[in-house]
Structure 1
Amino acid sequence: MKRDDAAASDPVDARLGGRLAELRAEHGWSLGELAERSGISKSTLSRAERAEISPTAALLNRLCNVYGRTMSQLLSEVEAEPAPVLRAAEQRVWEDRASGFVRRSVSPPHGGLRGELVEGRLAAGADLAYDRPPVPGLEQHIWVLDGTLAVTAQGSEHHLDTGDCLRLRVWGPTRFRCVGPGETRYVLAVVRP
C-alpha cells in the first residue's frame, strides 16, 4: 500500500473510496468481516474507504475477488463523474414493437449513482409482464403523465390516472397495462437498494 498525502484531494481516489464503502455496506459487512474475507487489515480498509491512501492494484484485486467483480468494472464505476446534463437527443430510446412499449432512458444508470429516470409509453391495450425484478427490493416511483395505467405488484392491482404516483419496492412479478382508449405516458424513477 503506497502512502499518498494527495489521496484525499484526488477525486478518483475519493470516488473509489466512496464506492468501496458502498460495496461493503451493500453486503452488510463490518470492516472486520471484510478484513477476514479479503486478508486486508481493518485499518487499511478503513483508510482506503476514507481516501486517506491510494489503494494498490494488489489491494483492489483482493477486494474485486471478494465482491465478485473485475477491476475494470470497479474502476468504470468511479473513473468519470456522470454527465450533469443529458440532452434529449442523447437519451437512448428502445422500442418493443411486439408489445407496444417505448422506453426512453432520460437519466441512465451510472455506477456512481443509485437512481435513474425512464419515460415509458404504452400503446392502447399494451400489456407488459415481468416475472421478477432485475434487483430484488428495487425501489420504483411510477408517475403517470398522460393516460391511465394499471400496475400489478405484490398481488395488488393499482389503477393510476394522469398525475397519480405509485411508490413501491419490487420483490416479485409486476405487470404494466395501458387501460385507456389512448396511449399512456409515465415516468419511472428507479432507485437501487
Structure 2
Amino acid sequence: MGSEPTSGPLDSRLATRLAELRTEQDWSLDDLARRTNVSRSTLSRLERAEISPTAALLSKLCAAYGRTMSQLLAEVESEPPQLVPASRQSVWRDDASGFTRRSVSPPHPGLRGELVEGTLQPGADITYDGPPPIPGLEQHIWLLAGALEVTTGGTTHTVNTGDCLRFRLWAPSRFRCTSPTPARYALLVVLP
C-alpha cells in the first residue's frame, strides 16, 4: 500500500499527525484498519514513518477522518502566508502510482477554496474507491497539458489540454493519464 520511506520532514510530520488523529478518535490500529480496509501493519508502519503513503491510502485515511487530502497536508505545514512563492509550495509525490501533487495555494482556516497542481505520469491510473472525505466537495480540473480520463459517479469524462471539468464529488473517482506525455492540471477545490 505504501512506498518506501522518503524520510523527508513532511513525511515525518504527516506520520505524527496521522497517529494524533487516530488517538483523537480513540481508535486502535485495528479500529482504523476496519474503517479503511488497510492492514494494521501498514497503518503502524505509516504512523512510524517507515513508509510513505500512496495517494489511494491517503484518500482512505482522509475519508475515515473526514478531511480532504489538502486539509490533512495543511495540518502538517506551518501557517500558510498570503503569498506562497513557488519554491515554498509543498510537493508530495506518490512515485509508485506516478502522481505528484503541489499545493499552490494551501487551504487556510476560514477560506473555502484552494488551488492544487497535479501531474500524472503516462499510464498512471489512480482509483479513489472509498467515499469522498467530504461529500459534495466541488472540484474544477483545468488540464494544462496531456490528456486525462476522469470518472466520477460512474460517468467517465475525456479531458484534453485546455478543457475544464467541474463536478461535485459524491462517489468514488478515478484519474487516468491517457496521453504519452504527463497530464498536468490545475485543480480548484471548494468546500461545500
Give the alignment's TM-score, normalised by structure 2.
0.57
Partner of 2:110: 112
Asked if the contact 2:141–2:164 (Cα under 8 Å) also holds between the matched residues in 1, the reply is: yes
Structure 2 residue identity aligned to 1:157: T
Asked if the contact 2:80–2:106 (Cα under 8 Å) also holds between the matched residues in 1, the reply is: no
Q: Residue deviations 1:79-101, cap 9 Å, x none?
A: xx962211001100000011000
Structure 2 residue identity aligned to 1:161: N
Structure 2: runs of 5 or more not aligned: 1-78
Q: Distance in 1 between matches of 2:133 and 2:122?
A: 26
Q: Distance in 1 between matches of 2:118 and 2:107?
A: 16
Asked if the contact 1:151–1:159 (Cα under 8 Å) also holds between the matched residues in 2, the reply is: yes
Partner of 2:182: 183
Structure 2 residue identity aligned to 1:113: L
Among 92, 98, 113, the alignment partner of 1:100 is 98
Asked if the contact 2:142–2:186 (Cα under 8 Å) also holds between the matched residues in 1, the reply is: yes
Structure 1: runs of 5 or more not aligned: 1-80
Q: How many residues were matched structurally?
A: 115
Q: Distance in 1 between matches of 2:149 and 2:80?
A: 33
Q: Distance in 2 between matches of 1:120 and 1:166?
A: 14
Task: Say which SS state the counterpart of residue 179 (structure 2) adopts.
Answer: coil
Shift of 1:161: 0.4
Q: Distance in 2 between matches of 1:111 and 1:137?
A: 19
Quote the RMSD (CA, aligned, Å). 1.8
Q: Distance in 1 between matches of 2:187 and 2:106?
A: 12
Q: Distance in 2 between matches of 1:83 and 1:103?
A: 19
Instruction: Single out whichever of 129-138 and 152-161 deviates more from structure 2.
Output: 129-138
Task: Say which SS state the counterpart of residue 87 (structure 2) adopts.
Answer: helix
Q: Residue deviations 1:163-183, cap 9 Å, x none?
A: 000010000100000001111
In structure 2, relative to structure 1, the CA distance for the partners of 1:82 and 1:93 (3 Å cut) is closer
Counting only pairs closer than 5 Å after superposition, residues 152-163 of structure 1 correspond to structure 2 as 152-163=151-162
Asked if the contact 1:149–1:176 (Cα under 8 Å) also holds between the matched residues in 2, the reply is: yes
Larger Rg: 1
Shift of 1:112: 1.5
Partner of 1:141: 140
Task: Say which SS state the counterpart of residue 135 (structure 1) adopts.
Answer: coil
Asked if the contact 1:82–1:112 (Cα under 8 Å) also holds between the matched residues in 2, the reply is: no
Q: Distance in 2 between matches of 1:123 and 1:134?
A: 24
Q: Distance in 2 between matches of 1:133 and 1:190?
A: 13
Shift of 1:134: 1.5
Structure 2 residue identity aligned to 1:176: F
Partner of 1:86: 84
Counting only pairs closer than 5 Å after superposition, residues 21-170 of structure 1 correspond to structure 2 as 83-131=81-129, 132-170=131-169
Task: Say which SS state the counterpart of residue 128 (structure 1) adopts.
Answer: strand
